[in-house]
Chain A
Amino acid sequence: MTSTLTWLRVNLFSSWTNGLLTVLVLGLFWLVIPPLLDWAIFNATLNAATKAQCAADGACWAFIKQRFALFFYGRYPAAERWRVDLSAVLLVVFLVPAMMDGVRHRWVAVVALVGVYPIIAALLMAGGVFGLPWVDTEYWGGLMLNTVLSFVAIAGSLPLGIVLALGRRSRLPLVRYACIGFIELWRGVPLLTVLFMAMVMMPLFLPGGVTVDKLVRALIALTLFTAAYMAEVIRGGLQGVPRGQEEAARSLGLGYWRTQGLVVLPQAIRLVVPGIVNTVVDLYKDTTLVTIVGLFDLLGVVNQSLKDSAWLGMAKEGYAFAAALFFVICWGMSLYSRKVERRLARATAR
């Protein structure tokens, strides 16, 4: 009891200003939280066939429930959705060894994740081979599209970013200026502009009859854009590796590629894992921008669903659901990043 009082005094009422702030914040909570809980839980309707059956003063989660599959798969044909599920399971199978500690030859797992998995997943989801019916990318959507966009962008931008970061530190002026030019150009334009260029302008420049799939265009734009950021993150790591490491490698007779590949890069990348995860989280949220150029990601499908004449006025439910889903995914990623940081701190402390 006394310890609780002490804790309160030290943490919440250490001075009169702090005390006042505590009271104010508690008052704010009192004002906001009960109505929010009333809306989201106590007065909410979970099962309803039409909008009219939903309680007027509570959330109508029936709307989300009815469109649950749409939010995850978009318009992907219902009979083929197992292919998306299988791709998701395979993603976990490939992801775990690549991210776990103490796996021997972990780089093999990483290469499999970045190099082999995308091919399997693309064949599985698009089909057209091995008797799988072709599913055009116009039917891809929802959270699946966010995941595809960010996975491909990361898998493509990581190697590209490494090359660009090394190039920017190169002693060859042509290579160096080319890399600087690329990085600064892509970092200097907003992602939305890049997407607009890829979606709206590019078709005008292509010869008649030639069309590049919309999703592919978005993927290329996102990959190049992310690569510029990735390059700068990795360059930060390269600068964090003591010069002595490189000199020592040289004195052992290693050439440029082996010096970078065996000595510098492994240390550099380990240093910037939090930065990379940060870029990934950013990217995952940025993928929602594709809705503006006519691809229906999770947010796009939510927006779209709000226009259903039979279910008008579901904006709060739709956005709350999308926000919760994004939060869970992005929070999961940052949890992993913190775990890696702690392990690195232990490793360097020893």
Chain B
Amino acid sequence: MISRLVRKAALFAVAAGSFGIAAIAGFGDANAQATVAAIKQRGQLVCGVDSGIPGFAYQDATGKWIGFDVDYCRALSAAIFGDPEKVKYVGTTAKVRFTVLQSGEIDVLIRDSTLTFTRNTDLKLQGAAVNFYAGQGFMVKKSLNAKNVKDLNGATICMVTGATLELNIADFNRANNVNIGSLLFERTEEAFAATESGRCDGYTDDTGSLAAARSTMKVPGDWDILAQVISKEPLGIHTRQGDENWTNICKWMHYALLNAEETGVTMANLDQMTKTSTDPFVRRLVGEEGDFGKLLGLDNKWAYNAIKVVGNYADIYDRHFGPKALGLPRGANEQWYKGGLQYGLPFR
């Protein structure tokens, strides 16, 4: 009797589970090709951002969202509506970020999330573009005189748990036959405090967050950020699979911002360049030539409207990570012709 009950319960659970999967799959199909139409009808882009991380997405004293990723939401809103403020921001934690994207609660996820194989194939998400090349880096005491990561042999490093930070260090230890100790904390604030108080010789995190960590130290000058990184973290824009047009818009938004920097179009000189430039790439970008916006299902002024409010890639980067902000060198996020990895595909 009992075993029969158990079997029935198991059957029910399986049925419920497959219903859930069917619901996810079905949802994707129903929504195909319709994201932009849905956004326009709603009058609002729903943008998933980090619930709080310096530089990428945070709120100022009035509750206004600010940050590198937030500027991408504003750019998309400007491209669709001609108005950067028609965005509803959904702060997502690491645990819920992909589920809210799959379930359709958000249109796009721009949340310092790494593009990986399994997120593409298993979670059925589309990595539209890499807007920030990061990697796991180290902030260490100057007195250690460490030049690269191997010099940290025997040192203890503070970090937060939950990501793959400690896993990467274990891999590095095994591959290089060194012994770097890990001390785990639940919250970044705790890890900062432990590093400051001397329980650790350093702190490790994505390079995008290290500059923020250093600025919370009592004497920031006492800490070095090592140039070497031990993992690849290409952070970027995620969309659902099944709506290629929407993914293309997100992808070409990023390339538009890169191309603007490459051709010298900035927030300040945009109007002047639009009037006077004879460079065909500039003229296509700002919508003076060709039907590039129309081909995406948008206005031809889409990129113009975006650059008008957020500037080009360098403008965005400098606003949030530049010397006047967190002071993080461009590094891998420099343009390809300056030795970096950011490479805007051509507009033609």
Contacts and interface: CB of A to CB of B under 8 A. Distances in A.
Interface of A: 56, 66-67, 70, 74-75, 78, 136, 138, 141, 196, 199-201, 203-209, 211, 292-294, 296, 300, 303-310, 312-313, 315
Nearest to B97: A294
B149 interface: no
Nearest to B189: A315
Nearest to B21: A204
B55 A309 contact: yes
Contacts of A141: 63
Interface residues of B, number: 45
A75 B59 contact: yes
Contacts of A310: 60
A204 B51 contact: no
B24 A304 contact: no
A66 B95 CA distance: 31
A292 B186 CA distance: 13
B26 A211 contact: no
Interface string B136-156: 000000000000000000000
A345 B90 CA distance: 51
A308 B59 contact: yes
B54 A293 contact: no
Q: Which 3 A-B pairs have the closest CB atoms?
A: A313-B216, A75-B63, A203-B103
26 contacts: A70-B61, A78-B62, A136-B88, A138-B90, A196-B95, A200-B100, A201-B99, A203-B103, A203-B105, A204-B24, A205-B23, A208-B104, A294-B51, A296-B51, A303-B52, A304-B52, A306-B52, A307-B52, A307-B54, A307-B58, A309-B326, A310-B60, A312-B212, A312-B215, A313-B192, A313-B217
B218 A56 contact: yes
Interface string B194-219: 00000000000000000010011110
Judged by DSSP, the binding face of B is mixed
Nearest to A78: B62
B323 to A, nearest CB: 13
B96 A199 contact: yes
Contact of A204 (B60, B103, B320): B103
B193 interface: yes
B93 interface: yes
Given A74-B63, A75-B63, A303-B52, A204 B96 contact: no
